[in-house]
Amino acid sequence: MAFKFNFGGAKDTDMEPRVAPLLNPVRDEPESHEITPHSQSSLRENAHDTVQLGDLQVFKSIATPSSSLSPAGSDIVPSVYEGGYKLWECAIDLAEYLRKASLCKGKSVLELGAGHAIPSIVAAMQDATVLCIQDYNEEVLRDVTIPNLTTNTSNVPVRYFAGGWKTLPYNLRRRFDIILSADTIYANQQCDSLADCICRTLEVGGLALIAAKKYYFGVGGGTAAFQEALRLHAKNQNISLRIRTVLEIRDGLSNIREIIEVQRE
């Protein structure tokens, strides 16, 4: 599965995230809260990049994190910044998969850890009826996610949520037909939190598609740990899930990447 960035420099993807050293114990994640978009100028009228998905061109924000949010050289700062200013390669894998599978027409869609929200843009273009988008950082939503969505789509109502996954299901107050997430399970804590959130927000008969690396060397996490967490939370919540790998990518450019499909039965 090939993808192309029309960037002026190197690809905005790496084999493994550069995680800032954790100097203090991990704090409880912030409670989720809905944010209201301010008026946004079109990316077409300002400096921007584009992402090419087959014959589909998607406009992409080139905003970067402040030094207070992300120290130099760090892609992720645990409990502070979850990497949303960077476009991760598994998000492109997931967007390509959605583009070819055409799963979202007439569906309610939730993207968790959205960042640039390229998969959600594809879902909107496929006429999803409802779109909810979450990212850990409000700054990412305002600088990256919202400009991307408002530039590339116009026909789908969108709600935006900042904060963690633990309280998100209670603020959403609904379940979804399709849940999307990419490169969000780089550590065991993320695997556990995401699995719990999906179990609480996936509609019966619905699908969750999780694009991630098989292993995240040096930082933990990966698709095997995530599937184990899913089975544990499904058992605890007394729900039935069918879990399978629908795509494996071995392109020699990075660690093995997979897309995991989770169906609630």
Residue-wise pLDDT tens digits, 189-236: 899 999 999 999 999 999 999 999 999 886 778 999 999 999 999 999
Are 200 and 227 a contacting pair, CB within 8 Å? Answer: no
Whether the per-residue pLDDT at 130 is higher than 80: the answer is yes
Count of domains forming the chain: 1
Is 113 a member of any domain? yes
Is 26 a member of any domain? no
Are 49 and 5 a contacting pair, CB within 8 Å? Answer: yes
228 token code pair: 């184990």
CATH number at 228 reads: 3.40.50.150
133 token code pair: 């988008």
Judging by beta carbons within 10 Å of its beta carbon (0-12, 13-18, 19+), is residue 260 exposed, middle or buried?
buried
Is 25 a member of any domain? no
Higher pLDDT, 207 or 10: 207
DSSP state of 252: S
Is 143 a member of any domain? yes
Higher pLDDT, 78 or 227: 227
Is 9 a member of any domain? yes
How far are the Cα atoms of 87, 138, 144 from residue 64, in angstroms, in the given order?
A: 11, 13, 9
Is 22 a member of any domain? no
pLDDT tens digits along 161-172 = 999 999 999 999
Domain hosting residue 170, numbered range: 4-17+31-75+83-264
Q: Beta strands 176-182 and 108-112: pairing type?
A: parallel
